A and B are shown apart, each in its own frame.
Chain A
């Protein structure tokens, strides 16, 4: 059996205590929410905190609050299952609710909260392997090694952003609240991530993600479309998050398109966005916008399925995600 390594388990009763514990133990510490990402990683020995800080008992993280404006504040510890079935979210944020439903299986969604999902480790088929397997390739730079197997000449890691909600939340311009040792800050979702497979967050390690803010519903529409081999269980190998602002004539006034599973962060498809703004969503326009999407993408051979195929079908998926915003 694959065993967890030995660790100390903390259950702080306040956010401040959690942050204090994390600061105190530094590199040795990690937060755990649902544990569906961290514990498998610990079993494979690529995340090896000796101090695990549970957020289970921290108050104020477990609720969904709907504001008068219709905007929503989601506590970091709200389980995905609750979001998936939340009436207000289903009605006013169908793209986001759909992205939540696309995450793995009902069992995982029962365990995993939104905070953990936003902070999910980046993934790579050379990295998400047991210690023994990684030893047989002599490890890689994301953990214990020197080389990147995906791009051996590269000085950086290309591990893949793999959360399903991140592309659509970034496209929607959702925000998150972080509580650290020096106080609280609120940033745009886009700003939470970095283009690096190893240090993939701008968040400091001891900073606690407490809340996610969804902008009030308005003249925009968001969608999420996921490419994967099986309709359950599998991580995205492409996750298209699109959010389009439309005027009364159906002309796109603003477009945010993010590509998940195509690089180390949710990559903005800037060409696609440009092709959309100022135009109506005709079939031709959508097809053209889809075709332009993959230019900034960094699809590499480190997920499921053939890399060539993934590049070829991506435009089709982007176009379909855009069509869903009509």
Chain B
């Protein structure tokens, strides 16, 4: 929005100095662009189909690559014969594991993947051979001519199996057997906490895995040119990490000869955050053939890439006072990691880390175990590791409210984690708007008058309401690989035409991060955001940003952009001040003008101002960067959980259940999301509605189910339904009416007070649906997805006079027996703790594998 009359502008705005970018002191109501529903900078090309995704790219003489993937779940590769394939007319290149011997992986602690499996396959879908040909069909046909001889190994099919079978190990690293990670952290005094409790509950839950299902299937185009430079265009959320993985696996190709360009992503949701085997193989294939090489994955292959939600078994014991105040929490999680490490170490910690950020938990014991199994590897999906425990705890809290005869909304309001506080596990909470969120959805849904009273409808179905809450990070406080450099960098170039170009490594995956850059820079410089040129996600041109994951971009890139823009403003102000003869401090930047606050008529256009500045200071370029504030958690494992700020969400879901069949629908959802400040409420609401949609899919139907059969002594273990038709996800018809509340509780660490948007509101959907089913028909489904047959089974149990519940056995048999060893004991802040564990053994520096 542009103000018509610049002379009505009020006095100059005071913005924070750039040395402490997380301490803005902005007058919130005095903003020109921030908070306004401006369209996204790339909106028109997106909706008119002009955006060029990776699969839209072609280059002259381009080859098409296909991967031959493992057809067995677990085996040693005895022999590969590619001679017939190589001889097929049209085939130009064949690669096997021998050609790419260097392992890689997103985390330095789990470099356990190969672009092509050299000697071992670990799930149906693991890539073994890459073939490039002049036609895609030829490459596919050639793959059918490859002979691979496998020696099958015993399959490890899930959490219980992995815990019970140490052999064969999927990997020769990890804790022991097929346990990848074990964490055991104890904060405060559990015995004391439970002793103070009037009521203790122990419940067991299971959250089945599910996948991201982005509309765009991953695609990569690689070109190794005659000058020895490699360019890789790819649908990736993390060009910087892909760049690192390419530099590692293509050794000795120098890192600075590699350029990664992240194309606009047609949806990512975490599924394009790992460096992938097909990306590395395409690059190598281009180096081998000297021709550009493209690979466009099939939908089935996207299921093999996976990195989605971990299946997690959970056992939670919670103690509460008579009034429902939590006194202690003992939480176990068991994660099915699939075949590789991926982000799994972080995922494991995330199943424990944020428990204390939503509600105050003074005494907290977390034990987490991640297992390797012969499934497509799990990793980060929207909410990364936190939706599973959120489901468990929000359903459990609902049960407690029921046990004690309390209102589920009240019990949550009474347990809120305090704002501006340190949690038991040393996470620093800043702004905290969960109370407001709860109040909004309670009022909107008519909770107080309708809950428990909807009952049987005219159509014979039963309605009910369920409530649940969540918190989520605004970016991880620590980078994925240890380094002291900034997490995000922005460069600005100011041109004589008045053009401002912003260069940044961040990747727009549809969430609007390119637009965020435009809005923030436009606001600081007083120019139209849609006139700013945004160049992102190109490792040759743009400074590093760690990537579009963990909801980090608005806060981190935003702060870096703000710093770069403020520095540019200072340079321009110098030039204008000299030309106009007014002190720089009196200048206002607004409405594409720079003018004197005391005499608004005295000023010049933005373009003139840039020219004046260039005349005075020379070519104008500035940089900005951002590193999150240091973490208070110093114990081992404390690196996962800290964030500059936390978003909050609360949801009320209404369901309608057909008690004869268990079939239910979700007619309406009320969702409130505290995002600190909406940089653009329209875009923020889009993110929130997207979360509702995605959460609804997880709640109702989505699952990575496996076929588990035995045939002639061999076990067949393969994803049941890797297709867009049969992997069930909601359609527009299942999408409920959504009432969205954007709650703004500004946080000092965010640009203009902004926090995370759009991961948090996914979390409450699953428990709110389960709680609503209980309100409607009085049965508990302690398992996600809450599918029709489970509701039906619970209803049948109820009819038969049994416990009206469907879920894993709620006793010691429900979870595997795992020796977690001795816990790390950490005194809470109120016990005088300093963030270290008092019994922590001296840390040895482990060499990365």
Residues of chain B within 8 A of A309, CB atoms compared: 662, 788-789, 792-793
Asked if A231 contacts B72 (CB within 8 A), the reply is no
Asked if A147 contacts B140 (CB within 8 A), the reply is no
Task: Across the interface, name the chain A residue whose C-beta is closest to B728.
Answer: A229
Residues of chain A within 8 A of B661, CB atoms compared: 313, 316-317
Given contact pairs A2-B298, A309-B788, A133 touches B722 in the complex (Cβ within 8 A): yes
Residues of chain B within 8 A of A132, CB atoms compared: 69, 71, 300
CA distance A308 to B661 in the complex (A): 12
Quick check: is B720 within 8 A (CB to CB) of the other chain? yes
Quick check: is B730 within 8 A (CB to CB) of the other chain? yes
A-contacting residues, B673-732, CB 8 Å: 701, 707, 709, 711, 716, 718-723, 725-726, 728, 730-732
Residues of chain A within 8 A of B793, CB atoms compared: 309
Asked if B733 contacts A133 (CB within 8 A), the reply is no
B-contacting residues, A196-243, CB 8 Å: 229-234
Quick check: is A278 within 8 A (CB to CB) of the other chain? no
Quick check: is B652 within 8 A (CB to CB) of the other chain? no
Asked if B718 contacts A136 (CB within 8 A), the reply is yes
Main SS class of interface, B: loop
Residues of chain B within 8 A of A136, CB atoms compared: 70-72, 124, 716, 718
Digit string of B724-749 for contact with A (CB within 8 Å is 1, else 0)? Answer: 01101011111000000000000000
B-contacting residues, A127-147, CB 8 Å: 128-130, 132-133, 135-138, 147
Quick check: is A151 within 8 A (CB to CB) of the other chain? no
Quick check: is B136 within 8 A (CB to CB) of the other chain? yes
Residues of chain A within 8 A of B723, CB atoms compared: 128-129
- Picked from B711, B726, B792, the residue with its CB within 8 Å of the CB of A304 is B726
Asked if A138 contacts B792 (CB within 8 A), the reply is no
Quick check: is B154 within 8 A (CB to CB) of the other chain? no
Residues of chain B within 8 A of A233, CB atoms compared: 725, 731
- Picked from A3, A130, A230, the residue with its CB within 8 Å of the CB of B728 is A230
A-contacting residues, B762-817, CB 8 Å: 787-789, 792-793
CA distance A77 to B701 in the complex (A): 36
B270 to chain A, nearest CB (A): 23
Quick check: is B137 within 8 A (CB to CB) of the other chain? yes
B237 to chain A, nearest CB (A): 21
Given contact pairs A132-B300, A230-B734, A138 touches B728 in the complex (Cβ within 8 A): no
Quick check: is A31 within 8 A (CB to CB) of the other chain? no
Asked if A1 contacts B296 (CB within 8 A), the reply is yes
Task: Across the interface, name the chain A residue whose C-beta is closest to B722.
Answer: A133
Asked if B733 contacts A230 (CB within 8 A), the reply is yes
Quick check: is A193 within 8 A (CB to CB) of the other chain? no
Task: Across the interface, name the chain A residue whose C-beta is closest to B295.
Answer: A1
Residues of chain A within 8 A of B720, CB atoms compared: 125
Quick check: is A149 within 8 A (CB to CB) of the other chain? yes
Asked if A308 contacts B789 (CB within 8 A), the reply is yes
Quick check: is B660 within 8 A (CB to CB) of the other chain? yes
A112 to chain B, nearest CB (A): 15
Quick check: is A6 within 8 A (CB to CB) of the other chain? yes
Chain A residues with a Cβ closer than 8 Å to the other chain, count? 34
Residues of chain B within 8 A of A1, CB atoms compared: 55, 136, 217, 296, 298
Residues of chain A within 8 A of B728, CB atoms compared: 229-230, 234, 304
Task: Across the interface, name the chain A residue whose C-beta is closest to B725.
Answer: A233
Asked if A147 contacts B711 (CB within 8 A), the reply is yes
Residues of chain B within 8 A of A133, CB atoms compared: 300, 718-719, 722
A-contacting residues, B64-93, CB 8 Å: 69-72
Residues of chain B within 8 A of A147, CB atoms compared: 711
Asked if B789 contacts A138 (CB within 8 A), the reply is no
Quick check: is A88 within 8 A (CB to CB) of the other chain? no
Quick check: is B199 within 8 A (CB to CB) of the other chain? no
CA distance A26 to B417 in the complex (A): 73
Quick check: is B169 within 8 A (CB to CB) of the other chain? no
B702 to chain A, nearest CB (A): 11
Residues of chain B within 8 A of A305, CB atoms compared: 787-789
B-contacting residues, A98-153, CB 8 Å: 125-126, 128-130, 132-133, 135-138, 147, 149, 152
Quick check: is B299 within 8 A (CB to CB) of the other chain? yes
A34 to chain B, nearest CB (A): 16
Given contact pairs A147-B711, A229-B788, A305-B788, A2 touches B299 in the complex (Cβ within 8 A): yes
Residues of chain B within 8 A of A135, CB atoms compared: 71
CA distance A39 to B70 in the complex (A): 26
Task: Across the interface, name the chain A residue whose C-beta is closest to B712.
Answer: A138
Given contact pairs A230-B730, A313-B660, A306 touches B789 in the complex (Cβ within 8 A): yes
Asked if A312 contacts B726 (CB within 8 A), the reply is no
Given contact pairs A129-B723, A309-B788, A3 touches B731 in the complex (Cβ within 8 A): no
CA distance A306 to B298 in the complex (A): 27
Task: Across the interface, name the chain A residue whose C-beta is closest to B709.
Answer: A149
Digit string of A1-27 for contact with B (CB within 8 Å is 1, else 0)? Answer: 111011000000000000000000000
- Picked from B707, B733, B788, the residue with its CB within 8 Å of the CB of A137 is B707
Residues of chain A within 8 A of B124, CB atoms compared: 136
Task: Across the interface, name the chain A residue whose C-beta is closest to B296.
Answer: A1
A-contacting residues, B37-76, CB 8 Å: 55, 69-72
Residues of chain B within 8 A of A317, CB atoms compared: 661
CA distance A133 to B707 in the complex (A): 11
Residues of chain A within 8 A of B730, CB atoms compared: 230
CA distance A128 to B734 in the complex (A): 25
Task: Across the interface, name the chain A residue whose C-beta is closest to B217.
Answer: A1
Asked if A130 contacts B733 (CB within 8 A), the reply is no
A7 to chain B, nearest CB (A): 11
CA distance A152 to B140 in the complex (A): 30
Residues of chain A within 8 A of B296, CB atoms compared: 1
Task: Across the interface, name the chain B residue whose C-beta is closest to A104.
Answer: B725
CA distance A158 to B56 in the complex (A): 41
B563 to chain A, nearest CB (A): 43
B-contacting residues, A240-254, CB 8 Å: none
Residues of chain A within 8 A of B789, CB atoms compared: 305-306, 308-309
Asked if B718 contacts A312 (CB within 8 A), the reply is no
Residues of chain A within 8 A of B721, CB atoms compared: 125, 304
CA distance A2 to B300 in the complex (A): 9
A2 to chain B, nearest CB (A): 5
Residues of chain B within 8 A of A230, CB atoms compared: 701, 728, 730-731, 733-734
Digit string of A290-326 for contact with B (CB within 8 Å is 1, else 0)? Answer: 0000000000000011101100110011000000000
Asked if A138 contacts B69 (CB within 8 A), the reply is no
Residues of chain A within 8 A of B726, CB atoms compared: 125, 128, 304
Given contact pairs A130-B298, A130-B300, A309-B788, A137 touches B718 in the complex (Cβ within 8 A): yes
Asked if B709 contacts A229 (CB within 8 A), the reply is no
- Picked from A5, A128, A129, the residue with its CB within 8 Å of the CB of B137 is A5
Task: Across the interface, name the chain A residue whose C-beta is closest to B70.
Answer: A136
B769 to chain A, nearest CB (A): 15
B-contacting residues, A148-162, CB 8 Å: 149, 152
Digit string of B123-152 for contact with A (CB within 8 Å is 1, else 0)? Answer: 010000000000011001000000000000
Residues of chain B within 8 A of A2, CB atoms compared: 298-300
Residues of chain A within 8 A of B71, CB atoms compared: 132, 135-136
Asked if A231 contacts B733 (CB within 8 A), the reply is yes
CA distance A149 to B136 in the complex (A): 31
Task: Across the interface, name the chain A residue whose C-beta is closest to B700.
Answer: A229
Given contact pairs A125-B721, A125-B726, A308-B789, A3 touches B140 in the complex (Cβ within 8 A): yes
Q: Name 30 interchain pairs, CB-CB below 8 A, sorted by A.
A: A3-B136, A5-B137, A125-B720, A126-B707, A128-B726, A129-B722, A130-B300, A130-B722, A132-B300, A133-B300, A133-B718, A133-B722, A136-B71, A136-B72, A136-B124, A137-B707, A137-B711, A137-B716, A147-B711, A149-B709, A152-B711, A230-B701, A230-B730, A230-B734, A234-B728, A304-B728, A309-B793, A312-B792, A313-B663, A317-B661
Known: A232-B732, A313-B792. 7 other contacts (CB 8 A): A2-B299, A6-B137, A133-B718, A136-B71, A136-B718, A304-B721, A305-B788
Q: 3 tightest CB-CB pairs across the interface, nearest first?
A: A309-B789, A136-B71, A306-B789
Residues of B in contact with A (beta carbons under 8 Å apart)? 55, 69-72, 124, 136-137, 140, 217, 296, 298-300, 660-663, 701, 707, 709, 711, 716, 718-723, 725-726, 728, 730-734, 787-789, 792-793
